[in-house]
Structure 1
């Protein structure tokens, strides 16, 4: 390169991009790439707070300030809409979850010489970054890293363990998969680990599914104002802060809609927050049963239905009785269900998504049926990550 070039934006995987299309790792908008390839920091370049940044695959964007981070989240969502020739009538302000707010995470562990490495994997690798600090996890979750090292250090031979950590109402739910809890000594060590660290629940999966070995009282997570049983491995929004932003959008946009269909409802994140009778449809049996039991216990107007919406989407005639639909599918999107909504008489659809690409395709289906994209709100729930989310309102 014979001339200097500015970084004008951040690409989908976190690299900075120049006007000529050059990708520059760890460059922020406003940085300047000099002729020798070095980068001169600009006004939006930040000092990464974590010593593991650049190696750990948990974060890709700690080198940018909040202004650039919010712009990245907004642009990812807006580019997805425009890829399908859609333009929101209102583009809401980007919401960013704060540092140390992640209430659920998947960590990995394996022996590293004489000690145990536990943490996230390196980007594009199976190698584990042994965490000495973490600026995204809730402190209650990170506090378990050192005790987990000690517990897992008793294993012998070659092994690999996955750890699921979730912050519930009663404290931390810790699920360990691949831990050889065989014999009295290993069992006592696991129970001591749970008791000494005040765990709300410890589950062990030795290849036959998660089994609770410690749960002093039934575990719940409060959704809206309703405590709901939390089955092992059940989906939960990554941060309470991000959940609140998504729920606030749904409540605002579905105000006055009666009744509402909540599709891919999970435990009832949205169903228990809406001020209307809700029919909640979910394929995962444990989540469905937890939602149904919580609704019955609280005598709430939430009717839970066990239904796989990928294989058996609600048909247009079933949808016609609803004044509004809330849609929060997995990353694959909801192609067949979106097509049935397009054929129905439903007037208002709130679509929450963790994948702007699949959302955009479904949004195109709705737009072709006469829906307009009334509002779009970008959400950066996975702080410093290239993973973005959104809430959107479609009105016929």
Structure 2
């Protein structure tokens, strides 16, 4: 089939219409003319371009040699203006769908390439040797990554060293994943595999030497400390907090810095008592506590322990409580003790919690979301309850992907 790409869909694929049927064609730009075929699988079909008949003026050369094969990036091939329009459009379409208007739109902020501090790679010993990298899009095939333009240089440089290490430790068909996190004191690396349950003395010595020689602060084996030279920490608003590879953290220090500044700008000048919902390890909790006593709610045990321990050591007025805010949101009565609320939920949003906030007497809300759709849905609930979306900031911290971070300031008179 032949088609001309009309636009880019929310998932980052080009959209073409042939015989009144819509097709989502990956790695294309508006104006591209392509020949493609639909390859049907057992569970789903995929589209494969067989020929570019005409390339759009909106295209640009992709910086990475793996682009088009690697599932890590979708949008290296479009020029900057088109890319920015696409990213901002993700939020505009979501807000328009729910009929939410923002009084102020802040410019899109893009975190540059080679800034990501955490990744998860898959490895497997194949007949052709040890493969380590991201998955090919839509498959379980590993791309043997020779480069990655997303991550910090120290992480990229570790990948070939990991390939050599793993090749000597695993037999054919043995596999696993590697989580890597860059911290204040060096790399934290988590090796997840069922093929290294009882390391030999030689393997222990090899892993210890590898950890020591590659600025790895700690090596974990299936989330359990295996070799520790330094306890990995990151710094939030002047406070060191324990972290762990494979567990949630914002994608980069740059994203932390930008979001903290924007949240600080969006917060009211005076806060008697604030509450941080879905607090994680306290990325924003310590900032809030600089203005007054802060309660934090989180459901993940490791995050709770790390946050409370850091707060106690720094003597910061933070109280952390374990709570599933989806099943058991703070009630209207409980919210009555606060004059500022910060919400940073997972992709699903905070529907049940926002419904309680809407019925409360709260006036100041700052909401960060990694999903424009759930952000817009929750924003509609707040706006229907008398809040105004005073300002919104789109943040692109997942470069060349279909994802967008949103920072919103809500106020109710």
Q: What is the TM-score with the length of structure 1 in the denominator?
A: 0.92
Q: Cα gap change, 1:346/1:27 in structure 2, threshold over 3 Å: closer, same or farther?
A: same
Distance in 2 between the 1:385 and 1:117 partners? 23
Distance in 1 between the 2:101 and 2:204 partners? 57
- Residue 206 of structure 2 corresponds to 189
Distance in 1 between the 2:263 and 2:90 partners? 21
Distance in 1 between the 2:397 and 2:15 partners? 24
- Residue 156 of structure 1 corresponds to 171
Contact 1:231 1:287 in 2 (8 A): no
Distance in 1 between the 2:342 and 2:359 partners? 16
Q: Cα gap change, 1:120/1:32 in structure 2, threshold over 3 Å: closer, same or farther?
A: closer
Contact 2:275 2:296 in 1 (8 A): yes
Contact 1:353 1:391 in 2 (8 A): yes
- Residue 94 of structure 1 corresponds to 108
For structure 2, which runs of at least 5 residues remain unmatched after alignment?
36-50
Offset at 1:257? 4.2
Offset at 1:151? 1.8
- Residue 38 of structure 1 corresponds to 53
Match of 1:316 among 322, 332, 341: 332
Offset at 1:311? 2.3
- Residue 306 of structure 2 corresponds to 290
Match of 2:132 among 118, 127, 132: 118
Distance in 2 between the 1:152 and 1:371 partners? 54
Contact 1:56 1:123 in 2 (8 A): yes
- Residue 106 of structure 1 corresponds to 120
Q: Larger strand proportion, structure 1 or 2?
A: 2
Displacement over 4 Å in runs of 4+? 18-24, 34-37
Q: What is the TM-score with the length of structure 2 in the denominator?
A: 0.88
Offset at 1:41? 2.8
Contact 1:204 1:213 in 2 (8 A): yes
Indicate the SS of the match to 1:200: strand
For structure 1, which runs of at least 5 residues remain unmatched after alignment?
none
Does residue 227 of the first structure (1) align with residue 227 of the second (2)? no
Distance in 2 between the 1:151 and 1:157 partners? 14
- Residue 11 of structure 1 corresponds to 9
- Residue 158 of structure 2 corresponds to 144
Indicate the SS of the match to 2:305: helix
Contact 1:172 1:199 in 2 (8 A): yes
RMSD of the TM alignment (CA)?
2.1
Does residue 385 of the first structure (1) align with residue 385 of the second (2)? no
Q: Bigger CA drift: 49-58 or 62-71? A: 62-71
Indicate the SS of the match to 1:121: coil
> How many corresponding residue pairs?
388
- Residue 40 of structure 2 corresponds to none
